[in-house]
Structure formats: structure tokens, C-alpha cells
Structure 1
Amino acid sequence: MAKKNDKMNMPMSGAGLVRYFDDESVGPKIAPEIVIAITIILGIFCFILKFSV
């Protein structure tokens, strides 16, 4: 006869949300601050090109 403690307890699923950040990606690692800085620099560059021509 099986005891009450013999059954497996499954971990909580987080309401069905998939956790994509668990897998290690192969691509380059870039800090968020660098991405924001590049975006701002590119925006300023485009703004300067628009009014310099």
C-alpha cells in the first residue's frame, strides 16, 4: 500500500509562464547601457545629418 508521502510533488509552474532566460545564449553579451548609448549616438548622428545637408 502506498503512503501519502510517496507521491511526487511537482514545482509551481508560475502560472504557465515560460522562463526563456534559463537557457544560455550563444551570442555576444552587451550591457544595456551600451545599447542605450549607441542608440542615442545614432539618433544624434541622424539628427546632424538631416540638418547639415
Structure 2
Amino acid sequence: MAKKDDKYSMPMSGAGLVRYFDDESVGPKIAPEYVIALTVILGIFCFILRYSI
């Protein structure tokens, strides 16, 4: 009979590595598409400011 709080363990070769998929962040959740779009828009804006003067 398994314990209720058992978790999957990493293989021995992964010892010492951080398991990021276990952590829950409390920050805002933003879709990757929005981050890419915002980066492209910011890049274009900086390009326009650089070469418009």
C-alpha cells in the first residue's frame, strides 16, 4: 500500500538538479504568444525611434 504523499523520484543521474515542474509560481500567467508579440512591437518601436531622428 502506497503512502498518500509519495512523489515520483528522479533517476540517480539527475541528482542535485532542480525540478522546476514541481514549483508553482504566484506571478501573472502570460501566454508565450503575447510575450513574443510584445517583444517584436518593442523592437520595431526602438528601431523607429533610432532611425527617425
TM-score, L = length of structure 2: 0.67
Partner of 2:20: 20
Partner of 1:40: 40
| Alignment deviations for residues 19-52 of structure 1 (CA, whole Å, 9 cap, x no partner) | 1121111000011111110000000000000111
Which structure: larger Rg?
A: 1
Partner of 1:29: 29
Give the root-mean-square deviation of aligned CA atoms: 1.5
Q: Matches of 1:34 and 1:21 in 2, distance apart?
A: 22
Runs of 5+ consecutive residues of structure 2 not aligned to the other structure:
1-7
Identity of aligned residues (%): 72
Runs of 5+ consecutive residues of structure 1 not aligned to the other structure:
1-10
TM-score, L = length of structure 1: 0.67
